[in-house]
Amino acid sequence: MWAAETARADIAGPLALALLAFIAVLPEYAVDLWFAYTAGSRPEYAAYAAANMTGANRLLVGVGWPLVALAAYFAARRAGVRPGVVLREHRRIDVAFLGAAALLAFVMPLTREISWAVAVVLIAWYAYYLFRIGRCSETDEEELIGVPARLAQLPTRRRRMTTVLVFAAAAAVVLACAEPFATSLVDAGASLGIDRFLLVQWLAPLASEAPELIVAVVFAWRLRGDDGLGALLSSKVNQWTLLIACLPLAYAAGGGSWSLPLVERQVDEVMLTAAQTVLAVVLLLDLRFLPWKAGLLFGLFVVQFVLPGENARLLLGYVYLTLALALLTRHWRELAPTARALGGRIEGDQH
């Protein structure tokens, strides 16, 4: 986090926030890719890779986004301003790219695998996303405090070298912890009689998503709800594109085929996660994340733990899609400017 904040002294704008979001979620990548890599020689681990990916994505939207809204609400009350997170116009780029990726994601449950072809498309899509936000001239200036503020005052060359070294040290710790952390989860489930699938799906993402949640909540508490939700929105884009794309590649590197198979339970999980993503995109079409929207996402997230039976996930997925369709009728005028954000210019782009 220190290194990511310091790097913003050299990289400005939405691209810096996207890179910050990517760096903050690296622990999730390390754990999930280890599961996928191990699945190449131990096929039972393929289910854990899919479980970790879907759990992380649903936790991010179902808990992370409402948590930012909650922090923004109390910060607004403290400052005596109107509650609610209002996103700036250039966030349409994130919303548009996430929406397109959400629709593409339905290919995975239909084909019952995450294929190399889907991986190639998603990697290209994320690269194009970085290109689009890299051309946006809108700034996301954060006043640095503490360690990042001191590092930012160093001479340019020394600051950049220090930032790289801190990044390298943090990455080394993350990579060193990934394998024992993931293995311990599976072993703990076996020895304690707890469903290992659920441990991998919820406990692992809760730990690995913590850095980005902390960053986002701090932004919101500083009355910068746009940056807080923007960071999680960008993180959702990279997890729903690049992370998914890396899974079949890690699986192949570990000795498996070029397509990561999905069994029945994972098919339903991926479908449910894609449906939740569609609803989240529709809720942000008007660039306003109000308390009732946060409550809706959190409430539906909690419901999945209450409904019994595996078929409940499929039913809940249809509920997400039905609500998305109903709300879309209220915001259909926002579709055109959001679609234009994929390739055209919007307010905040460079001219």
Note the pTM of the prediction, 2 decimals: 0.86
pLDDT value for 27: 81
Mean pLDDT of 302-321: 85
Does residue 332 have a pLDDT over 80?
yes
pLDDT value for 351: 39
3-state secondary structure the chain: CHHHHHHCCCCCCHHHHHHHHHHHCHHHHHHHHHHHHHHCCCCCHHHHHHHHHHHHHHHHHHHHHHHHHHHHHHHHHHHCCCCCEECCHHHHHHHHHHHHHHHHHCHHHHHCEECHHHHHHHHHHHHHHHHHHHCECCCCCCCCCHHHHHHHCCCHHHHHHHHHHHHHHHHHHHHHHHHHHHHHHHHHHHHHCCCHHHHHHHHHHHHHCHHHHHHHHHHHHCCCHHHHHHHHHHHHHHHHHHHHHHHHHHHHHCCCCCCEECCHHHHHHHHHHHHHHHHHHHHCCCCEECHHHHHHHHHHHHHCCCCCCCHHHHHHHHHHHHHHHHHHCCCHHHHHHHHHCCCCCCCCECC
Write down the mean pLDDT value for the chain: 85
Does residue 167 have a pLDDT over 70?
yes
Please indicate whether residue 291 or residue 346 has the higher confidence score (pLDDT): 291
The string of pLDDT tens digits covering residues 51-109 is: 889 999 999 999 999 999 999 999 988 887 777 788 988 889 999 999 999 999 999 99
The string of pLDDT tens digits covering residues 31-58 is: 889 889 999 998 888 888 888 899 999 9
The string of pLDDT tens digits covering residues 235-256 is: 899 999 999 999 999 999 999 8
pLDDT value for 104: 94
Mean pLDDT of 212-234: 86
pLDDT value for 348: 47
pLDDT value for 205: 82
